[in-house]
Amino acid sequence: MGDSAGLRTGTSGTPRLDGSGGPDLSCTTLDNGLEIVVIPDRRVPVVTHMVWYRNGSADDPLGQSGIAHFLEHLMFKGTELHPAGEFSKVVSALGGQENAFTSYDYTAYFQRVAPEHLGRMMEFEADRMGGLNFDEAVVAPERDVVLEERRMRVETDPPSQLSEAMSASLFVHHPYGIPIIGWMHEIETLNRGHALDYYRRFYAPDNAILVVAGDVAPPETVPRPERTYGRNTPHAGSAGRSRPREPEPRAARLVSVADAKVEQPTLQRLYLVPSSRTATGRENYALEVLAEVLGGGPTSYLYRNLVLDAGAAVNAGAWYMGSAIDETRFAVYAVPAEGRSPQALEADLDRAVSAAASGIDEDMMERAKTRLIAETIYSLDSQSSLARIYGSALAVGETLEEVRRWPDEIRAVTRDDLRQVAERYLVPRRSVTGYLLREPG
Amino acid sequence: MGDSAGLRTGTSGTPRLDGSGGPDLSCTTLDNGLEIVVIPDRRVPVVTHMVWYRNGSADDPLGQSGIAHFLEHLMFKGTELHPAGEFSKVVSALGGQENAFTSYDYTAYFQRVAPEHLGRMMEFEADRMGGLNFDEAVVAPERDVVLEERRMRVETDPPSQLSEAMSASLFVHHPYGIPIIGWMHEIETLNRGHALDYYRRFYAPDNAILVVAGDVAPPETVPRPERTYGRNTPHAGSAGRSRPREPEPRAARLVSVADAKVEQPTLQRLYLVPSSRTATGRENYALEVLAEVLGGGPTSYLYRNLVLDAGAAVNAGAWYMGSAIDETRFAVYAVPAEGRSPQALEADLDRAVSAAASGIDEDMMERAKTRLIAETIYSLDSQSSLARIYGSALAVGETLEEVRRWPDEIRAVTRDDLRQVAERYLVPRRSVTGYLLREPG
């Protein structure tokens, strides 16, 4: 690998998240396909080292749901060079932190350590990108760990059961309807062969993004990733992501989970809407602003309407999962006040959502935009948020330019944009309503 | 192929559907794997010739929904030997009838002609089992025909939209949730390559069952299928059927379609229940009897309860799709009386279904069994029903012995069996309720 593929040569434009200042990124790609983004942040003597793989639970082969998440577990079980637990022990001994997470569209691994240990993190992470241990002695017990995780988090937890059932009803065909952790009966059948096939298909430098954020300026001071990741063999070139598309929704759906364990009934609603990748025009930005206007905290439309004015709910909000490869979720929710049922609250929520489309004034919209942009800029204060924003954007196929333009796009949203996306997408036939109900013991 | 693989040698036991008399079947298998069942029926000088393929829409590759049905269309578009339409013209010129259908678990083709033309039917059918024409000039226009079929039958038809949405909600993971005709946006992408791959995978003698019913006794008079089908090359040996299993359902679901075109609102309910292939013990027979008790005609429990006694509905019924490879549908439905809404009727239906579990007396059950068995025996009077019963049973993997035992199994069902399946399966968390609503224009 020549210097021409090195870290410095790619130093490109200056993506700035707030449209004016912001981090001075270095971007490059190694010969083996690994994309590298370096985000200088010298305020504290710390670096965040993240590797993002462009595969998540929505890429699980049919009948092997949970394999992406299972593999995330196995990534901590050692390699030929380093026994299980060694990497974690080293991070801990260096006073660092580590974590990993699996999402629908990506899987990521990160460590935060003092800058002088960055090279060592690269060694470990590059090592487990290609040399993972798949002994049966490791695989079977770890599957039991995942099964127990599912038992604890879902099987015995009514809110999680409702959430899974709502997703499965919203996405009748696309794998976003399958839980990230997988269906119990399919996790039970995952074996060494599945894990190995999956690892060989997706864990490779040409399917990964390395994000280094922190006290690494000038970028020349970053340990040369060629010396670690550069040795990994590319092979994911043809991995691809092939997912079925949702059919056009035709029917309003309602999902109910009733359980004696439920302490607080809730009302939830999901709508199938475009994501940053499927939107046309400014739709995704309008949906972001709409979620903030409707349900971004105690000054939001739903909160004022349902909690403060009507006293019908004790909480209410909205969110939009815009960062996704395929069509995605827009959610509104409300927690009924004592003595009110989710059923009774639904009419209030419907009224508020319908009214919002026309009832949002310029002032409400502008305040929401300001909050959204401010929150994101505040979040840049956290080095790991910074790394996450860039890593997740690249992992779902957004460009750094799109990340840079984000504040301007948000500012450009008009009331007409809000009205249009509300009328087009927040409609019954695109929705799944959820009731979490207390079943009389 | 020697005589030892001929039609006569396999003449086996005597499956008798009514447990006492019934058709005297001949069963055999050709060297190339084609299973053959001959059902003598000399009452009229007619034969029914059916070929069943062990592949239906639930075997459509992911993202290619509708391919099984599309291929059924293409099977009428000619072969290297016979141009499009020739087979149909010959059947018609001989005064015969023909048809074909695609289901979740199988695809079947049939002709009814005078016995002396049976050999000719075999020639044509064996020819299109291996020599189908896949010219682009045929494929693309036929796809437009299917798209138009879907537009007419589903896209503009609210009851079909509700039915599709209910199935998609009942089967969150298994392909029974995908419509047999396919999703519009996936039919649009089906091409010659998909059709050819699918044909090569499934259309072969070792994936097929030939059923000949009619004036063919003694079986020696049947034209020797070795001379036609015997020339087809087996290649489906490894085709297999690999389908994901449904997760354990946790949430009651409700699906609503509201449309100004709806003239008659309806209330429907599906439950996820075992099929003949997944049931343990007598569950599937109990479910058959339960459907008959609950909703088999104007003397059934639901009809008497909701229509005759309460006057809440103008019709009510139930059915069970027991013949299926995987977990399947049990349905109850009611059509509200003038001035009643599906919502209002739902409480009545719930009460009736709950009460039925304990409220079925011995007499009601015995009358239902008698009706069920009698109906099936009457249906044997129709030669094509006879051929369908045996063909579909074999196509989903039931044995002729199971078909033979059916009346005895039905007779053996007890009230306790009915109570057990009702309590275990007709529960909210296994259900999808459907409202078809008139939307104020």
Instruction: Provide block-wise average pLDDT over 10 residues at a time, chain B (441 residues).
Output: 29 39 80 94 91 97 97 96 95 95 97 95 97 92 96 94 97 97 97 95 96 82 89 78 92 96 96 97 97 93 94 96 97 96 94 86 95 88 90 94 93 96 96 94 61
What mean pLDDT do residues A268-294 have?
A: 97
Assembly ipTM: 0.84
Q: Do A172 and B169 touch (CB under 8 A)?
A: yes
Beta strands in A289-424 (DSSP E): 313-320, 328-336
Q: Do A257 and B251 touch (CB under 8 A)?
A: yes
Q: What is the pLDDT of residue A9?
A: 28
Mean per-residue pLDDT of chain A:
91
- A180: chain B residues, CB-CB within 8 Å: none
DSSP, collapsed to helix, strand or coil, labels residue A250 as: coil
Banded pLDDT at A22 (limits 50, 70, 90):
low
**Side-chain-side CA neighbours of residue B365 (13 Å):** 21
- The alpha carbon of residue A144 is apart from the nearest alpha carbon of chain B, in Å, by 18
In terms of DSSP bridges, do strands B107-113 and B313-320 run parallel, antiparallel, or are they unpaired? unpaired
**How many Å apart are CA A342 and CA A35, to the nearest integer?**
47
- B62: chain A residues, CB-CB within 8 Å: 62, 244
As given in the structure block, the two tokens for residue A235 are: 């092979």
What burial letters (b/e) apply to A299-328, b meaning 16+ CB within 10 Å?
A: ebbbbebbbeebebbebbbbbbbbbbbbbb
Q: Do B251 and A428 touch (CB under 8 A)?
A: no
Q: Do B173 and A178 touch (CB under 8 A)?
A: yes
Q: What is the pLDDT of residue B22?
A: 57
Closest Cβ opposite residue A177 in set B172, B250, B429: B172
Question: For residues A299 and A289, is the Cβ–Cβ distance under 8 A?
Answer: no
Q: pLDDT, tens digit, for every residue of A102-152?
A: 999 999 999 999 999 999 999 999 999 999 999 889 999 999 999 999 999
Which residue type sits at A119?
Answer: G
Q: Is residue A264 over pLDDT 80?
A: yes
Minimum Cα–Cα distance from B157: chain A residue: A250
Q: Any idea what DSSP says for residue A79?
A: B
- Point out the catalytic residue in the list A72, A125, A226, A292: A72
What burial letters (b/e) apply to B273-282, b meaning 16+ CB within 10 Å?
A: bbbbbebeeb
Mutation pick from B250, B256, B261, B269 vs chain A, by most beta carbons of A within 10 Å, is B250
Q: Is residue A360 over pLDDT 70?
A: yes
Minimum Cα–Cα distance from B169: chain A residue: A169
The pTM assigned to this predicted structure is 0.89
Q: What is the pLDDT of residue B239?
A: 61
What mean pLDDT do residues A236-264 have?
A: 89
- Burial status of residue A358 (CB atoms within 10 A of its CB: 0-12, 13-18, 19 or more): exposed
Closest Cβ opposite residue A251 in set B186, B250, B255: B255
- B164: chain A residues, CB-CB within 8 Å: 250
| C-alpha closest to that of B425 among B291, B324, B315 | B291
Q: Do A244 and B169 touch (CB under 8 A)?
A: no
Q: Is residue A181 over pLDDT 60?
A: yes
Minimum Cα–Cα distance from A249: chain B residue: B165
Closest Cβ opposite residue B252 in set A164, A172, A256: A256
Lowest mean pLDDT among A67-71, A261-265, A310-314, B382-386: B382-386
Mutation pick from B172, B248, B270 vs chain A, by most beta carbons of A within 10 Å, is B172
- The alpha carbon of residue A243 is apart from the nearest alpha carbon of chain B, in Å, by 7
Mutation pick from A173, A256, A259 vs chain B, by most beta carbons of B within 10 Å, is A173
Q: Facing residues of B433 across strands? A: B254, B269
Q: pLDDT, tens digit, for every residue of A192-204?
A: 999 999 999 999 9
Banded pLDDT at A12 (limits 50, 70, 90):
very low
- The alpha carbon of residue A177 is apart from the nearest alpha carbon of chain B, in Å, by 8
Is A72 designated active site? Answer: yes
Closest Cβ opposite residue A169 in set B169, B184, B429: B169
Q: What is the pLDDT of residue B3?
A: 30
Q: What is the pLDDT of residue B42?
A: 84
Chain A interface residues facing chain B, Cβ-Cβ under 8 Å? 62-63, 65, 161-162, 164-166, 168-169, 172-173, 177-178, 183-186, 242-245, 247-258, 428-429
**How many Å apart are CA A2 and CA B120, to the nearest integer?**
72
Question: For residues A402 and A276, is the Cβ–Cβ distance under 8 A?
Answer: yes
Question: For residues B257 and B433, is the Cβ–Cβ distance under 8 A?
Answer: no
Proportion of chain A above pLDDT 90, given as a percent:
83
Closest Cβ opposite residue A63 in set B162, B242, B254: B242
Q: What is the pLDDT of residue A13?
A: 33
As given in the structure block, the two tokens for residue A171 are: 């996405």
Chain B interface residues facing chain A, Cβ-Cβ under 8 Å? 62-63, 65, 161-162, 164-166, 168-169, 172-173, 177-178, 183-186, 242-245, 247-258, 428-429
